Amino acid sequence: MGYEVTTPVFAGPFELLLHLMLSDELDIHEVSLSRIIEAYLAEVQKMESLDLDVATEFLLIAATLIELKTRRLLPSRDDTDIDEEFALWEERDLLLARLLDCKTFKDVAGVMGTLIERADLSFPRMAGPEERFASLMPDLLEGVTPFRLQRAILKVTAPKQHITVDMMHVTPIRASVADALIELIEFLPTAGRISFSEISKGITERVEVIVRFLALLELFKQGRVELIQGDRFGDVGVLWTGGSDRSFDAILNIDDYEG
Amino acid sequence: MDNEQPDHDLTADVVRALEAILLVAMEPVSSTLLAQLLEQSVATVETLCEKLAGAYEDAGHGFQLCKVAGGHRLQSHPDVAAYVERFILDGQHIRVSSAALETLAIIAYKQPMSRGQVAAIRGVDPDAVMRTLQARGYITEISRDDGPGQAVLFGTTPLFLERLGINSLQDLPPIADFVPDASVVEALELGLRVSTIESPTLSE
Amino acid sequence: MDNEQPDHDLTADVVRALEAILLVAMEPVSSTLLAQLLEQSVATVETLCEKLAGAYEDAGHGFQLCKVAGGHRLQSHPDVAAYVERFILDGQHIRVSSAALETLAIIAYKQPMSRGQVAAIRGVDPDAVMRTLQARGYITEISRDDGPGQAVLFGTTPLFLERLGINSLQDLPPIADFVPDASVVEALELGLRVSTIESPTLSE
């Protein structure tokens, strides 16, 4: 099926590192961190079309490895910062634990794959009751009108990009005030007076609502919107006062909010 | 030894394959198709089916092998129909799901459609849903694709029209000239932007 | 006499009804529902199903009675899979990628799991994979985390059990069986030593 997500050979940094370290295990006393780091970085370099998020994950692990390596090369000094030392140990233990987790679930996945292969050799009986029982079957289409059918097909055949653009900010839950600003600047000037609840209508992720609110505050600070609250805890009214200025150069240094 | 067991081991394998095919079949299977699948003559298949039907009856199974219009099929034995009725009335708790409705809509408007074509539109495997719709008699296999793989093509049935209360597919509300589409309406309702804004990686 | 034939005529009728119900069922039927329909105890139903499954196997039928996803169902025998696959053509099972399998493994053993928790173990954002698994019906949202953000928590579905051909999550081998053995732990541990002091034999 076309919708299967294609993943690189190594679906994650732990998987890659695990592979490199365990294929190096011929003589475990000869395990060379240098070689592992080299091979690791070489693999990462091969991943041309890696998106930024994935690349970051791979590079974070690489950084830890290099730190370990550096620490080994440095002569042991008395003035080593004990906190730094502990932090590195902690990081190493975490990495080790994650590698063991990764190995465990890789093996589990293997067994599950075998189970699926075996199960796939059998096909279930699905024909259902014969037509002589048809009158007893609850009518699936009760209450379904031709109009509902029309709406259903319009929903599935509609171009997806409009909605998915919004959804991408919803999951994974990473919302940016910058995106919310762009959105608001695009839409507020022609919206007239609008309430905050209308702006955030239909948004289910709390963090999405929050970034919109922060974006509004930012616009308020910049003097481009007027905020009106009739009574305490009441809905906030929003009115664009920024004229036709739709620039958003001031927003570059606004943080992301992780959910 | 079971009296359904045929004479030779070779035949035994063929009978097992025959039973398996009949079990998974959603519709009666013709002797010709069975002959082709089992690499036997049509006459042999007919004989095997008759023998098997007799053996099931003799063994007192709760199912039977019947010859109906279009071919052979397994069905529940009329003797125990009361239990089957009870099962249908008791055990099923079915409401049309949105997945089923969408799949049915796609097939109704765009028939004939293969499973793969429906999957391409819905973005998910419609297999289970289509089996349900087929079992309910709302859709049926109407032909096979000429292309490689000869995918089964599905269409709606007269029962579907009847349940929907329309006389023909022409009575379905048109979809071609319907503007704006559902997602645009939804987006407008949200009061949010409708068009795709190229959002630069400002937040990175 | 068929060796599937039970002792008493009363039981024979119950078995026939059981077979008929399983034949018309479209998903695994639980022992509880069967017990209710057949007016027998759950224990009796379980025993009857086991006996029937054994009898089918002994008689060398092309189908089998299996306990899957918390219920009983009839399915084609794996021995004749080649014939059935030829017949099904476009109903072939869709492959599950290794990335999907590993994500499924994590969720199966540690459910309920949020996307973030899966990401922490996988080291990559599992969003796309989890959406696919959800669309296929192998995982579903089962609750929300109480914590801030109220992350959606996912668990596996009966369809997942069906796909694996197992009756319940208890049928999965215990996770302890998979804990990497000492040599693996040692190899990883050595590779990730913080300093060379502790193991002078390391060649750098």
> What are the pLDDT digits (tens) for A228-255?
776 665 677 888 887 776 665 544 444 4
Window 119-148 of C: residues touching B by CB (8 A cutoff) are 135-137
* pLDDT score, position A258: 41
Amino acid at A200: S
Q: What angle do CA C114, C118, C124 make, to 5 degrees?
A: 130
What is the rounded distance in angstroms from the CA atom of residue B153 to the CA atom of residue B112? Answer: 5
* Residue A165 pLDDT exceeds 50: no
Amino acid identity for residue C98 in this structure:
S
Nearest chain A residue to B174, by CA: A150
**Is pLDDT of C1 > 50?**
no
Structure tokens at A25: 């295990």
pLDDT higher than 50, residue B194: no
Query: A175 versus B1: which is more confidently predicted?
Result: A175
Q: How many CB atoms lie within 10 A of CB A255?
A: 11
Write down the pLDDT at residue B192: 39
Q: Given the structure tokens 């370290």, which residue do they identify?
A: A21
Chain B residues in contact with A183 by the CB 8 A cut-off are 192-193, 197
In terms of DSSP bridges, do strands B113-114 and C113-114 run parallel, antiparallel, or are they unpaired? unpaired
Q: What length is written for chain A? A: 259
Distance of CA A162 to the CA centre of its chain: 19
In chain C, the N- to C-terminal Cα span, in Å, equals 77
Asked if C5 reaches chain B (Cβ–Cβ under 8 Å), the answer is: yes
Partners of C139 in beta bridges: C156
Chain A nearest-CA residue for C22: A125
- Using a CB cutoff of 8 Å and minimum separation of 24, what contacts does C191-195 make? C191/A21, C191/A24, C191/A31, C191/A33, C191/A36, C192/A33, C192/A68, C192/A92, C192/A95, C192/A96, C193/A33, C193/A68, C193/A72, C194/A68, C194/A71, C194/A72, C194/A85, C194/A88, C194/A89, C194/A92, C195/A71, C195/A72, C195/A76
Predicted pLDDT at A151? 82
In this predicted structure, the answer to whether residue C73 has a pLDDT above a threshold of 90 is: yes
CA distance, residue A48 to nearest chain C CA (Å): 17
How many C-beta neighbours within 10 Å does residue B89 have? 13
Least confident of A60-64, A84-88, B6-10, C56-60: B6-10
Q: Which band of pLDDT confidence, cut at 50, 70 and 90, is reported for residue C153?
A: very high
Q: With cut-offs at 50, 70 and 90, classify the pLDDT of residue C50.
A: very high
Phi, psi of B193 (to 5 degrees): -60, 145
- Could you tell me which chain C residue has the CA closest to the CA of A174? C149
What gap in Å lies between CA C132 and CA C129, rounded to an integer?
A: 5
Q: What is the predicted pLDDT for the residue at C9?
A: 62
Q: What share of chain B in percent tops pLDDT 90?
A: 39
**In this predicted structure, what is the pLDDT of residue A168?**
34
Task: Decide if C122 touches A, using CB distance below 8 A.
Answer: yes
Task: Give the pLDDT band (50/70/90) at residue A8.
Answer: very low
Residue B31 or residue A151, greater confidence: B31
d(CA A230, CA A219): 19
Among A34-38, B31-35, C173-177, the range with the most confident prediction by mean pLDDT is: B31-35
Residues B87, C2: C-beta atoms closer than 8 Å:
no
How many residues can be counted in chain B?
Answer: 204
Quick one: what percent of chain A has pLDDT higher than 70?
Answer: 67
- pLDDT higher than 70, residue B104: yes
What is the rounded distance in angstroms from the CA atom of residue A98 to the CA atom of residue A15? 10
Mean pLDDT of A205-221: 73
Number of C-beta neighbours around residue B193 at 10 A: 16
How far B195 CA lies from chain C's nearest CA (Å)? 24
- Across the interface, of B135, B164, B192, the residue whose CB is closest to A141 is B164
Tell me which of B57 and A213 has the higher pLDDT: B57
> By three-state DSSP, how is residue B193 classified?
coil
Q: What is the pLDDT of residue A252?
A: 42
Contact across the interface for B83 and C136, Cβ inside 8 Å: no
Q: Minimum mean pLDDT among A129-133, A139-143, B40-44, C148-152: which range?
A: A139-143
The dihedral of CA A30, A32, A38, A39: what is its sign? positive
CB contact under 8 A, B202 and A202: no
* Residue range A82-95: mean pLDDT, rounded: 80
**Which residue in the block uniquely carries the two structure tokens 């600003």?**
A181
pTM greater than 0.80: no
pLDDT digits (tens, 9 = 90+) for C103-116: 999 999 999 999 99
* pLDDT higher than 70, residue A129: yes
> Chain C: nearest CA to A243, how far in angstroms?
36
Q: Which residues of B touch A124 (CB under 8 A)?
A: 24
Q: Which of B91-100, C39-48, C140-149 has the lowest mean pLDDT?
A: B91-100
Residue with tokens 């035994």: B12
Statement: residue A22 has pLDDT above 80: no
Rounded to a whole number of angstroms, the distance from the CA of A35 to the nearest CA of chain B is 32
Distance from CA of A118 to the nearest CA of B (A): 16
CB pairs under 8 A between B and C: 142
> Residues of A with CB below 8 A from C132's CB?
3-5
Q: Does an H or E element contain A222, and which?
A: none
Q: Is the pLDDT of residue C6 over 60?
A: no
Q: Which residues pair with B64 in a beta bridge?
A: B75
B19, B94, B132: which to substitute to probe chain C, counting the most C Cβ within 10 Å?
B19
Torsion of CA B110, B116, B120, B124, to 10 degrees: 120
pLDDT, residue A184, reads 81
Q: Band of the pLDDT at A17, cuts 50, 70, 90?
A: confident
Contact B37 C89 (CB under 8 A): no
Range with the poorest average pLDDT among B103-107, B108-112, C89-93, C126-130: C89-93
pLDDT tens for B121-170 read 877 777 778 888 888 889 999 888 777 777 889 999 988 988 888 888 88
Residue among A128, A144, A178 minimizing CB distance to B203: A178
How high is the pLDDT of residue B2? 47
Calculate the average pLDDT of chain B.
79
What is the pLDDT confidence band of residue A3, given thresholds at 50, 70 and 90? very low
pLDDT at B197 over 50: no
Cα separation, A95 vs C188, in Å, equals 10
The C-alpha atoms of residue B97 and residue B104 are separated, in whole angstroms, by: 11
C192 and A68 in contact by Cβ < 8 A?
yes
Among the listed residues A141, A150, A154, the one whose alpha carbon sits nearest the alpha carbon of residue B172:
A150
Residue C185 has a CB neighbour count (10 Å cut-off) of: 15
C166 pLDDT tier (thresholds 50, 70, 90): very high
Whether the CB-CB separation of B64 and B90 falls below 8 Å is answered with no
Using the 8-state DSSP alphabet, how is residue C200 labeled? T
Under the banding of pLDDT at 50, 70 and 90, the label for residue B10 is low
Tell me which range, B89-93, B120-124, C140-144, is most confidently predicted by mean pLDDT. Answer: C140-144
Distance, in Å, from the CA atom of C57 to the CA atom of B2, rounded to the nearest integer, reads: 11
Q: What mean pLDDT is predicted for residues B23-41?
A: 93
